[in-house]
Amino acid sequence: MSKDHHWIAGINAVSAAIEHDAEHVREVLLEAGGKNPRLSAIEVEARRKDIDVRRVAQQALDGVAGGLRHQGAAARYAAVKTWDERELPALVEAAAGRALVLVLDGVQDPHNLGACLRSAAAAGVTAVVIPKDKAVQVNATVRKTSAGAADTVPVVRASNLARVLRELQKLGVWIYGLAADTDTSLYGLDLRGNVALVLGGEAEGLRRLTREHCDGLAAIPMPGGFESLNVSVATGVVLFEAVRQRQGS
């Protein structure tokens, strides 16, 4: 797993963390003598929520920000316990033939990711897989939207999503991608065994390489004639279809 904290930098990022996720902010560093009035507002709010605040030199902020533009503000933030992709096989094996993995291929909106994680936790998923690149990561907004799920569901960050899908197949996991351009209905799939459900991002849906690594594609029937659902809504639909089937088995 990852280390137990990381640094976030920038006035907006620090303000959002204090406002939405104060329980995970360990301390706030502010530039001594900084002129931006928002720095004082951050200090007042942080102290109101019993977060340690220190005024430090700009060089100290440069050091913890790691090259990011800090604007005179940084915060030590408790990291979500994300999992390395090499740990995924152990999670699947521990599920004893009933693994349910959610794969999100490039979700960009933190509110959508948070809602997906909330549904995943409610459905009892084995793990959620997200790409390390070109996708939103678990941040303060995701944590707030997930209502705590981001800290309870195993979130696996994949450096190569196609490789992870191949590894899942080797472990006996059937992989189904959600797509609109197929006549196969979600409700015709058998989702009772080892299954990974793959959903694409808000703009492009499933990427070509991701589609090619799926064992099958399925669509959510929409008799109302609408072409698509928000990714977080679609996630809830597919996960709880799996839950429905598994309760009957």
Residues 92 and 178 in one domain: yes
- 188 annotated to bind ligand: no
Residues 62 and 95 in one domain: no
Residues 15 and 91 in one domain: no
Do residues 226 and 180 lie in contact, with contact meaning Cβ atoms separated by under 8 Å? no
Identify the burial level of 101 via C-beta atoms within 10 angstroms of its C-beta, where 0-12 means exposed, 13-18 middle and 19 or more buried.
buried
Residues 111 and 207 in one domain: yes
Domain limits for position 139: 82-247
Cα dist from 215 to 172, 195, 197, 210, 212, whole Å: 11, 10, 10, 11, 8
**Which pTM does this prediction carry?**
0.77
Residues 111 and 171 in one domain: yes
pLDDT given for residue 151 in this prediction:
81
Closest CA relative to residue 94, chosen from 8, 194, 176: 194
Residues 140 and 24 in one domain: no
Residues 155 and 210 in one domain: yes
CATH number at residue 47: 3.30.1330.30
How many independent structural domains does the chain possess?
2
Task: Give phi and psi for 61, each to the nearest 5.
Answer: -65, -40
Residues 47 and 141 in one domain: no
In the predicted model, is pLDDT for residue 22 greater than 60?
yes
pLDDT given for residue 102 in this prediction:
98
Residues 97 and 41 in one domain: no
Residues 161 and 51 in one domain: no
Question: Could you tell me the pLDDT band of residue 2, with boundaries at 50, 70 and 90?
Answer: very low
Q: What is the DSSP letter of 79?
A: P
Question: Could you tell me the pLDDT band of residue 7, with boundaries at 50, 70 and 90?
Answer: confident
Residues 172 and 54 in one domain: no
Question: Could you tell me the pLDDT band of residue 178, with boundaries at 50, 70 and 90?
Answer: very high
- 224's CB contacts (< 8 A; 6+ apart) are none
- The Cα–Cα gap between 46 and 41 comes to 9
- The Cα–Cα gap between 172 and 50 comes to 49
- The Cα–Cα gap between 182 and 46 comes to 51
Beta-strand pair 174-178/216-218: parallel
Select from 62, 78, 94 the last residue of a domain.
78
In the predicted model, is pLDDT for residue 4 greater than 90?
no
Residues 121 and 69 in one domain: no
- 220 annotated to bind ligand: yes
Do residues 215 and 173 lie in contact, with contact meaning Cβ atoms separated by under 8 Å? no
Select from 48, 78, 108 the last residue of a domain.
78
Give me the chain's average pLDDT, please.
Answer: 91
Cα dist from 151 to 5, 144, 155, 213, whole Å: 13, 11, 9, 29
